[in-house]
């Protein structure tokens, strides 16, 4: 598995946690993020508002096509469903 280089800010309540357990915790967190940060999960959690056509795009293929463009067209808005 390819490890990605990312900056994580982790706040820990337990001040007695040793270095080895903290490292293991960060590895598990990085592993979870690696598996869940995919284009499919991104498209599931987002929708696109096309103001020009007065439509909301929710299909996976439509969102993938628009997100992979270098520049977003005018009046296209990527919104989180939350």
pLDDT given at position 4: 64
pLDDT at res. 2? 58
Q: Tell me how far the alpha carbon of residue 16 is from its chain's centroid.
A: 32
Rounded to whole angstroms, the Cα distance separating 50 from 57 reads 7
**Residue pLDDT, tens place only, 32-47:** 888 888 999 999 999 9
Alpha carbon 3 to its chain centroid, in Å, reads: 16
Q: Calculate mean pLDDT across residues 46-69.
A: 94
Residue 76 confidence (pLDDT): 93
Measured CA to CA, the distance from residue 55 to residue 48 in angstroms comes to: 8
Whether the pLDDT of residue 57 is over 60: the answer is: yes
Residue 3: per-residue pLDDT: 60
**Average pLDDT taken over every residue of the chain:** 88
Q: Give the start-to-end residue ranges of the domains of the chain.
A: 1-37, 43-80
């Amino acid at each position: 598995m390819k490890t990605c280089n990312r900056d994580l800010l982790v706040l820990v309540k337990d001040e007695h946690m040793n270095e080895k357990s903290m490292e293991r915790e960060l590895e598990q967190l990085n592993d979870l993020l690696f598996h869940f940060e995919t284009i499919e999960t991104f498209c599931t959690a987002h929708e696109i508002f096309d103001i020009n056509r007065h439509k909301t795009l929710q299909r996976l293929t439509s969102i993938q096509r628009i997100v992979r463009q270098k520049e977003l067209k005018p009046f296209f808005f990527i919104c989180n469903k939350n």
